[in-house]
Amino acid sequence: MEQNLIKTRVCPRNFAEAAERHGRHFARYLFAGRMATGKRVLDGACGSGYGSAYLATMAQSVIGVDINENLLKLAESRFKADNLRFLKHDLHEPIEGVGTFNLICCFETLEHVRRPEICLANLAFALDSGGTAIISVPNGTKERMAGGKEYHPNQFSARDFEDLLNSRFEEVQLFSQVYRKGIGHYIRKLTARSARHAYYYRFVPTLLDSAKTWLAICQKPYRK
């Protein structure tokens, strides 16, 4: 089971491997980690759990939820902490029985689901009134121009993404995830290591057409 998952998913064994081999993915958790200290955190569609585990190093508590039982088993076997739990949950269903959260992360998920508006509504209802949700999606316009991806039924344009978020949150700040090539990038290439390390990604205000990934910080959820 584990070998098949590793071939098709982002399944690093530790944070160093995540930063080295899956830099673009892990960079989002580094970004979220700045807001996680002392917080009750939900990691929606947590996958193999490495991001949930990273947030647990600074958060009060973290619950990672995913619909894939095999990935959850992998997460539970690799990442253990007293303040970390993994639960099976479909984000199309209300998030109940675990309280509310100060911080919710949901990265690269809404492009996969049947009803992104329902999933986002459930996340908004699980967020404290003073909490923060961090949501990311691929640049759907760029994906469509490249021929699309069959496993991304939802390919969001900048307007689509902004409108969806504004339907559930009063305050939305929009960012693009970009890669900054510093001297470390070229040194890593010369030593045959992965050049796109997590620490070289940045999040800049506005939705750039050139960016592969867009991200939003959302606050003040609507209770409708």
Position 197 scores a pLDDT of 87
| pLDDT digits 0-9 by tens, 51-80 | 999 999 999 999 999 999 999 999 999 999
Query: Given pLDDT bands bounded at 50, 70 and 90, which one contains residue 4?
Result: very low
Q: Is the pLDDT assigned to residue 112 strictly greater than 70?
A: yes
Q: Do 91 and 65 contact (CB within 8 A), yes or no? A: yes
Position 193 scores a pLDDT of 59
Q: Please give the residue that has the higher pLDDT: either 183 or 110.
A: 110
Query: Given pLDDT bands bounded at 50, 70 and 90, which one contains residue 16?
Result: very high
d(CA 216, CA 135): 5
Q: Is the pLDDT assigned to residue 190 strictly greater than 90?
A: no
Can you give the pTM of this predicted structure?
A: 0.91
Position 2 scores a pLDDT of 39
For tokens 């409108």, name the residue.
Answer: 163
Whether CATH 3.40.50.150 fits 2-221: yes
Position 169 scores a pLDDT of 98
Overall size of the chain counted in residues:
224
Position 137 scores a pLDDT of 97
Position 184 scores a pLDDT of 62
Within 8 A by CB and 6+ apart from 43, the residues are 51, 52, 55, 62, 63, 64, 65, 105, 106
Query: Given pLDDT bands bounded at 50, 70 and 90, which one contains residue 94?
Result: very high
Helices (H), 38-174: 50-56, 69-78, 116-125, 140-145, 158-166
Query: Given pLDDT bands bounded at 50, 70 and 90, which one contains residue 148?
Result: low
d(CA 28, CA 203): 9
Within 8 A by CB and 6+ apart from 207, the residues are 139, 158, 161, 162, 174, 175, 176, 214
Give the HSE-up count for residue 175: Cα atoms under 13 Å, Cβ half-sphere. Answer: 18
Position 1 scores a pLDDT of 33
Position 7 scores a pLDDT of 39
Position 5 scores a pLDDT of 37
Percent of the chain with pLDDT over 70: 89
Looking at every residue in the chain, the average pLDDT score rounds to: 90
Within 8 A by CB and 6+ apart from 133, the residues are 103, 104, 105, 106, 123, 124, 127, 169, 217, 218, 219, 221
| pLDDT digits 0-9 by tens, 207-221 | 999 999 999 999 999
